[in-house]
A and B are shown apart, each in its own frame.
Chain A
Amino acid sequence: MQRRVVFDGKVLPYLLVAPQLLVTIVFFFWPAGQAVYQSFLLQDAFGLRQNFVWFDNFRVVLTDPLYRGAAARTLFFTLAVTVLSMAPALLLAVMADKRIRGVTAYKTLLIWPYAVAPAVAAVLWLFIFHPSIGVLGQAVRKLGVAWDYKLNGPQAMFLVVLAASWKQVSYNFLFFLAGLQSIQKPVIEAAAIDGAGPARRFWSIIFPLLSPTTFFLLVVNIVYAFFETFGTIHALTQGGPGKATETLIYKVYVDGVINLDLGGSSAQSVILMIIVITLTAVQFRYVERRVHY
């Protein structure tokens, strides 16, 4: 039997949620509404002339082969960043969870990259990989590899994936570590007594028990790769060379801010919004059921 707490009165509950609601309205619903409205308009940059064009902007965007290219690229990028930021984080967390000397120092150091702003992180990578001023870039060129991410699409993609993942490893590490520490030690010890080796213990006990954390991180990382990698890409490649690193979110920026096509850019952000809402809904509805809690 569940006991429900019911508040008296009508005003207090609304007052209590009001601050959060206000924040959501001002920073989400209002701009999102603006984007939806803009996506139906054809406008010049200054907003002096505008026409209501129904779904014209969406038609143009969705039939644009460049947009589809960006969508495919974004899928690849998201997949790569998610895998590359979660797998090492899990490995590091498992290692740091052991009783070793100086573990606090390791943990602290591993968390540091998260405090670095995306653009700063990207500039650090630039100083490592830049073909003419980067330490590693120069070294690789001396070895005879034609390393020049400014002119080589796959190399540029590799670099932005690396820079975007590196930053996220710390965040994932933190959650994995917390997840690991919340697993009851007697369960693992019992398995050890029954003769299960470290690998067996990990895959049969720890990994399933960690799945709520893993699932949560999966969602967070996908959203991160989709939306929060703008700064990294902007500082490293600006979407180039060609369009090799232009993801959907970067294209929204380019079309809206640089090319001043507000209607097309809004249509793209509405599409992005729909994608993410669907993605999250599907994941929570279906995937979460299979997660072992």
Chain B
Amino acid sequence: MPQTKKSWWWIALALVLVGAATLGHHAQPARAQSPRVSVEFWHGLAMPLGGILEKIATDFNESQTQYQVHATFKGSYPETMVAAIAAFRAGNAPHIVQMFEVGTATMMSARGAIKPVHELMRESGVAFDPAAYLPSVAGYYSLPDGRMMAMPFNSSTTIMFYNKDAFKKAGLDPNKPPQTWADLRAAAQKIRAANATACGFTTAWPTWAQFEQFSAIHNVPLATKANGLGGLDTELKINSPLHVRHVQTLMDMQKEGSFKYGGRDAAADALFPSGECAIIHASSGLRARIAREAKFEWGAAMLPYYPGTPDAPKNSIIGGAAFWVMTSPTRKPEEYKAVAEFFRFISRPEVVAKWHTDTGFLPVTFAGYERVKASGFYQQNPGTDIPFLQMTRTAPTENSKGLRLGNMPEIRSIIQEELEKAFQGQQSAQQALDNAVQRGNTVLRNFERANRS
């Protein structure tokens, strides 16, 4: 019976395949059999920052034997956010996700999808003191009553970097960076007149630097309800006379050739280390790249302000990302405990200090800052304490605590689009900001509508 013989062969083959598959399954699970509780951690930092972050997870795994954190790179911040949301919808969200600051409102409104950090720490019995964190960092991720919702980690702020060689060439004092917008404009004009660099001034993150930080420093609201911290029914206020004046300044500078618009988000970053622009407003996290790439002497300084405004300069606010704990139908208490232990680890002064000195992000705790200060790092690397000093120079007001606007990524794009139209000469500063307010408020109302419980 040749037919039967043939089928026997097939069955044998099938058995071999099944056996191999089972073996494959058994070959892996050193992990599953070990008593360690496994924690999935998704982050959005590319190399080299991502490597430094993953090293912290490795250090944590080696520091104890109960928990195992698996750090995975999931693409840029927006991509990580989308991946986490999709995973949550499919019922298998990661334990921890790194979320950029503009996703804060979205995460906070997602009750049921997230586990607030204050709750996590209380239930896991891990000691936790919100006062250990810088107020402007903790405030950004806390409810109005002070309960912390996310774990701060890589916070940055906007500062000014300037090209000292270009300053010298233009006859400016390289140790006196501009303090006001008038100074900055004059310096940029001189640099262009002397042709020290191809462009005088540029800004990365146009919305973050020129609106969010700008409003905080000048103590004017970006939006009502304490920039959205007080509720979902917030409205943009960026068409105030001061904001219009500022956009007009940028438009005038662009027309006279002392300012160059370098593109959206971080696109302008490249213009400074390449030596094309002599002054840039950028994330303090850009320092590592400048140190590596710039072939000229450079310095760091605080952001400029308009002296006529009564309260300026106030403290700046943060950007960057924080860690959020996500829920899932299958989550067990010991997994939350593992997350809490990991959070305790990353808040240790030596971990905070090392992250700060390695990357240029802020030290998020006072203890971390003191540790770096005591080590003499700031003396050896002048300017590295500028972000910290700028962030803490005054007590945060209602306008400089941070912001919490729903669908903030979309609002950032809207402001950038309207700015681009203004820089092309298609509309005035007032029109640009009126349009941005109107379009932004529509976004805020949609968010409010979708998140009404």
Nearest to A153 among chain B residues (CB) is: B424
Known A-B contacts A44-B109, A151-B424, A258-B409; A238 and B417 likewise in contact (beta carbons under 8 Å): no
Query: Given A42-B450, A132-B276, does the pair A47, B106 have CB atoms closer than 8 Å?
Result: no
CB pair A152–B88 under 8 Å, yes or no, is: no
A42 to B261 CA separation, bound complex (whole angstroms): 37
A residues less than 8 Å from B263 (CB atoms): 150, 240
Residue of chain A at shortest CB distance from B412: A258
**B174 at interface (Cβ–Cβ under 8 A)?**
no
User: Which residue in B106, B267, B276, B416 is a CB contact (below 8 Å) of A260?
Assistant: B106
B89 touches A46 (CB 8 A): yes
- Interchain CB contact under 8 A, A240 and B264: yes
Number of chain B residues close to chain A: CB under 8 A: 39
User: Which residues of A have CB within 8 Å of B409?
Assistant: 258-259
Give the contacts of A215-253 with B (CB-CB under 8 A).
Answer: 238, 240-243
Which of B198, B262, B417, B453 touches A243 (beta carbons < 8 Å)? Answer: B417
- Tell me which of B110-118, B148-156, B331-339 binds A: B110-118
Residue of A nearest to B452 (CB): A49
B66 in the interface (beta carbon within 8 A): no
CA distance in complex: A158, B118 (Å):
53
Complexed CA–CA distance, A48 and B418 (Å): 33
Does B175 make an interface contact (CB < 8 A)? no
Contact B264 A44 (CB under 8 A): no
Total chain A interface residues with beta-carbon distance under 8 A: 24
Chain A residue numbers with a CB within 8 Å of B113 are: 46, 48
B328 close to chain A: CB less than 8 A: no
Contacts of A72 in B (CB 8 A): none
The answer to whether A45 has its CB under 8 Å from any CB of chain B is yes
CB of B85 within 8 Å of the partner chain: yes
Q: Is B143 an interface residue (CB 8 A)?
A: no
**B410 touching A258 by the CB < 8 A rule?**
yes
Return the CB mask of B72-87 against A: 1 if under 8 Å, else 0. 0000001000100100
Partner of A259, one of B261, B407, B451, B452: B407
Q: Which of A150-195 contact B (CB under 8 A)?
A: 150-153
Q: Is A257 an interface residue (CB 8 A)?
A: yes
Q: Which single member of A151, A152, A243, A258 contacts B78 (CB below 8 Å)?
A: A258
Within the complex, the shortest CB–CB distance from A126 to chain B, in Å, comes to 12
Interface flags, B408-423, vs A, CB<8A=1, else 0: 0110010011101101
What 0/1 readout, one digit per residue, does chain A (107-131) give for beta carbons within 8 Å of chain B?
A: 0000000000000000000000000
B417 touches A242 (CB 8 A): yes
Binary CB contact string for chain B from 378 to 416 against chain A (1 if under 8 A, 0 otherwise): 000000000000000000000000000001011001001
Q: Which residues of A contact B413 (CB under 8 A)?
A: 254, 258-259
The distance from the CB of B4 to the nearest CB of chain A, in whole angstroms, is: 24
Q: How far is the CA of A42 from the CA of B263 in the complex (A)?
A: 33
Contacts of A260 in B (CB 8 A): 82, 85, 106, 407
- In Å, the complex CA distance between A49 and B261 comes to 40
B111: which of A48, A150, A238 is its contact (CB, 8 Å)? A48
- Can you name the residue of chain B whose Cβ is closest to the Cβ of A131? B260
A132 contact set on B, CB distance < 8 A: 198, 271, 274, 276
Contact A259 B410 (CB under 8 A): yes
Asked if B446 is at the interface of the complex by the 8 Å CB criterion, the answer is: yes
Instruction: Give chain B residues whose Cβ lies under 8 Å from the Cβ of A240.
Output: 263-264, 416-417, 420
Tell me which of B88, B111, B263, B276 has the highest count of chain A C-beta atoms within 10 A of its own C-beta.
Answer: B263
* A48 close to B112 (CB less than 8 A): yes
Determine if B449 is an interface residue (Cβ-Cβ < 8 Å): yes
Which of chain B's residues have a CB closer than 8 A to the CB of A241?
Answer: 417, 420-421, 424
A238 near B110 with CB under 8 A, answer no
B257 → chain A, closest Cβ, in Å?
A: 11
Which B239-292 residues have C-beta < 8 A from chain A? 261-264, 267, 271, 274, 276
Q: Which A residues touch B110, using CB under 8 A?
A: 44-46, 48
Least CB distance from A101 to B in Å reads 46
Q: A150–B202 Cα gap in the complex (Å)?
A: 14
Residues on B lying within 8 angstroms of A by beta carbon are 78, 82, 85, 88-89, 106, 109-113, 198, 261-264, 267, 271, 274, 276, 407, 409-410, 413, 416-418, 420-421, 423-424, 426, 443, 446, 449-453
Known contacts A132-B274, A240-B416, A261-B410; can you find 15 more A-B pairs with CB under 8 A?
A45-B85, A46-B88, A46-B89, A47-B88, A48-B113, A49-B451, A132-B276, A150-B263, A151-B423, A151-B424, A240-B263, A240-B417, A242-B418, A258-B410, A259-B443
